[in-house]
Amino acid sequence: MKRYSPCLFLILVFNIPLFGQQGYEKGEIHDSIPVNGAQKETFALYLPQNFSSQELSSIVFIFDPSARGVAGIEPFIPASEKYGHILICSNNSRNAPYERNFALANNLFNHVFSHFNIKEDEMYASGFSGGSRLASAIASLTNKFAGVVGCGAGFSGIKEHMPAAHDYAYVGLCGNRDMNYKEMVENKGFLNLINFNSTLITFDEEHRWPPQEQILRAFDWLNLQKLKKKKPIPTDKLRAQYVKDYELVKQFRAGERLLFEAEQLERIIKDYKGIWDIDSIETQYTALLKSKLLKKKLAQLGKTLEQERKWVMAWDKQLREDFAQPQKVNWEWWKKELGKLDKLKDKENTEVQNMVYRVRFDLFVRLYSRKNELIHAQSSAQSTFINEFIELLKSN
């Protein structure tokens, strides 16, 4: 496996100019801006209303797995307006080899840093799905970013791309019907184990860019981490964020969203402990953990995640075998398996219903991934197998 030098992007933070780019309206998404010195490479740009070319600005580099600049920027607009972040999203970076994406990112960074005044300590990276893995890889290789917002996927699995003794803060965002939900939950445990400054925000959604309100929650948390480093700590601003955080607890409690309530209480304790007295929050959290309803929910979640692991492993194994020998596919086996899974979604257990959705979507993604690999071999037996399988899933 190719190793990437941590010095890959160092030029980007030592060549910040003293002038800003002119000619782009604030508060609008500008698509297909050419990257200087790079053939057929473009990006989308959003400047917040308070942007000034004469002042240093914070920035968010966004990576969409399908190279959709506008689609990548839209979820971040409220956060951009609240915190003054410039938004940049590549129209070329997509799910592809990291070496290719690193080269595209370098070109994009060099363009941006030669046209905008950027605060070196307020650069953020974010992405969705494969773009999330790319964002964390870039942050880990450079250690020059203040934070990462990873949406719908964790890390690449390559050692050099993993968070370790880095300075950035990491926010995971994941819907509870996202096929990578289990991965993100496990990543939370890993990051807690190595005492990495991180949090995981889960919500009702499937595998797609998070809604704007969830992206804003992520940047509220990142801003809180920045405030906590200031001396003296601006307690008035922390208090305002604390009030907002606890309002969410009350909303989850009123809606009997126990898992979200527990997650939010845990986050508040981690974020504010040592700053002021949060004994009442700890008491609420302890009582919730002891409640029969939450214990039941956690047990259901644990059981369904284990079921999900078994389904995905078995189906992935069979899919690999069938892809290798498409002429020998046992369609009846697949129909029975899909039938077994679909029977589960009629249960009233919400965690089981979420699991069924995740397993089916995981299979869809695996099939479409292979379909894309065969784009230039549409007449092959493998391509026919994939097309028939996709139709089976649509009709089932």
Beta bridge partners of 140: none
> What's the whole-number mean pLDDT along residues 259-265?
98
The pLDDT value recorded for residue 9 is: 52
Phi, psi of 92, deg, nearest 5: -125, -35
Q: Which of 65-79, 112-126, 304-318, 377-391 has the lowest mean pLDDT?
A: 377-391
Kindly tell me if the per-residue pLDDT of 13 is higher than 70: no
> Where residue 22 falls among pLDDT bands split at 50, 70, 90?
low
In terms of average pLDDT, the best of 164-168, 282-286, 382-386 is: 282-286
The pLDDT value recorded for residue 42 is: 97
* Alpha-carbon separation of residue 78 from 85, 173, 186, 211, 262 (angstroms): 10, 16, 29, 11, 26
Kindly tell me if the per-residue pLDDT of 3 is higher than 60: no
Helices (H), 194-234: 212-228
pLDDT in tens, 28-67: 999 999 999 898 999 999 999 999 999 999 999 999 999 9
pLDDT in tens, 190-199: 999 999 999 9
> What's the whole-number mean pLDDT along residues 157-184?
93
**Percentage with pLDDT > 90 across the chain:** 80
**Where are the strands (E) in the chain, listed by range?**
29-34, 42-46, 57-63, 86-90, 118-128, 147-151, 169-175, 198-203
Q: Which of 3-17, 46-60, 64-78, 265-279 has the lowest mean pLDDT?
A: 3-17
Residue 230 burial (CB count, 10 A): 10
CA distance 182 to 305: 7
pLDDT in tens, 311-335: 999 999 999 999 999 999 999 999 9
Contact 345, 353 (CB under 8 A): yes
Beta bridge partners of 123: 59
Contact 358, 178 (CB under 8 A): yes
pLDDT in tens, 106-163: 999 999 999 999 999 999 999 999 999 999 999 999 999 999 999 999 999 898 999 9
**Percentage with pLDDT > 70 across the chain:** 93
DSSP string, 138-178: HHHHH---SEEEEES----S-GGGS-SS-S-EEEEEEETT-
The pLDDT value recorded for residue 378 is: 54
Instruction: Locate 210 and state its tokens.
Output: 């998070």
The pLDDT value recorded for residue 20 is: 43
CA distance 192 to 214: 21
Provide the whole-model pTM.
0.92
The pLDDT value recorded for residue 380 is: 84
Contact 79, 215 (CB under 8 A): yes
